[in-house]
Amino acid sequence: MKLTLRALALAGLACIGILLVWQFGTRPATRVDISQLNAIAKQVEQQWPTPTLTTPGAVFEGETPITSREVSWPSPLAAASDDAQLLPIVVDGDTVGVLAISADAGREPVLNAHLHSALRVATATIGILTLLAIAWVAVEYARVIRPFRRLEQFASDVAAGNLDAPLLAGTNTRFGAWQSSLDILRSELLEARANEDTAKLAHKQLIEQISHDIRTPIASIAANAELLELENLSSSQRERVHTIAAKAQQLAAFTHDLDPNLVKLRVDPVAIGSPQLPPMFRSTDVEVRVDPIPPCIVLGDPMRLQQVIDNIIENSVKYAGTPITVTSELEDDQLCIHIADTGLGVPAAERGTLLGRGVRGSNSTGVVGQGLGLYTSAHLMERMGGAMWLTAPDSQDAPSGFTVTLALTLADS
């Protein structure tokens, strides 16, 4: 656009220059036509002593005007002071008077030859400059505007994900190096996309294989647990077998999360009565005491809530290994469940970060883990319409115990 405006401005200046040269180069100059003046004088001599004039002027006999046309000179001197052309009137060899012709008579407009030549030279020069300007604009368009527009289109294609069309770099453009670099970038992005697709396919195949391989032993564990429940077992043994069977069923349900087509974990909140909550805290590793839960109905996904509780208890087993106490109370429109141990806990300064993905406390040295348990639990609680937070002693020097609070939203009655 700027080049076009420059070209138009240059062409306009060229036209103005031509008009100025034409104006000053064609100003009329004048010259005296001697033959015409002689013809007038001859006519006066032939008509003497009663001549008539066909052109502005006057005839004097001595100092007295005897005839005039469109002038009022009283004497030849007055005519001379008015730039008149003075010619003697000769009759029979004697000078009988004076012919005074107006300064404008006997003159004709002519073109100044010098300026005319200058006009031709200036016109030719301006024409050449105009052609050069047009040629320059055309070259700059080919070297700047067109490649730049190709770059704009290329950027749009890349933003839209079209990486198949190469960006051809011209050797005579101002963007040759840029175009080459951008095309290399396009090639790298295309290769990265191909690698990503390959990795996604391999990941999908791996997940499908793992899911298939896990289902078989889980089914075997569940079947053997059912057979053991038929045996003559003590109450404690039967409780443990029941726990094994429940966990096997839970693992079987979790294998659905290994579906590579799922974008995120499926959560289906339903109404859960408070009597259904205490059995979820069953554990075979530590003692869990569940105080009475206020009668209520909460919203939650039973499988996901069980997953949250298991993660919290597993964390307590790994880092505290003390008995766990579960208390609860109703607060506004929520049921708050507090799961507390009496271990060393964590410093208060770390409390706000432990729910982050991959974050582990300073007491995790030597303990196997990836920092995903609490993060996943908090995420699932949020998906169920609830919340989860941590409380720990404010004193970093004497921590004692750690509490996880689950807030479940009450169902509308």
Per-position DSSP letters for 135-181, written without gaps between them: HHHHHHIIIIIHHHHHHHHHHHHHHTT---S--PPPTTSTTHHHHHH
* Between 349 and 204, the higher pLDDT residue: 349
Residue 300 above 90 pLDDT? yes
* Between 45 and 2, the higher pLDDT residue: 45
Lowest pLDDT segment from 22-26, 31-35, 96-100, 172-176: 22-26
Q: How many CB atoms lie within 10 A of CB 103?
A: 14
Whole-angstrom distance, CA of residue 413 vs CA of residue 397: 46
Kind and range of the H or E run holding 407: strand 402-409
Quote the pTM value. Answer: 0.47
Biggest alpha carbon distance in the chain?
Answer: 176
Q: Quickly state the pLDDT bin for 196 (edges 50, 70, 90).
A: confident
Task: Give the pLDDT confidence of 304-352 residue by residue, as tens digits.
Answer: 999 899 889 988 888 888 999 999 999 989 999 999 998 888 877 787 7
The pLDDT value given to residue 64: 87
What is the CB-side half-sphere exposure of residue 209 using CA atoms within 13 A?
Answer: 6
Residue 397 above 50 pLDDT? no
Residue 90 above 80 pLDDT? yes
* Between 27 and 343, the higher pLDDT residue: 343
Residue 41 above 90 pLDDT? no
DSSP 3-state percent helix, strand, coil across the chain (nearest 5): 50, 20, 30
Residue 384 above 90 pLDDT? yes
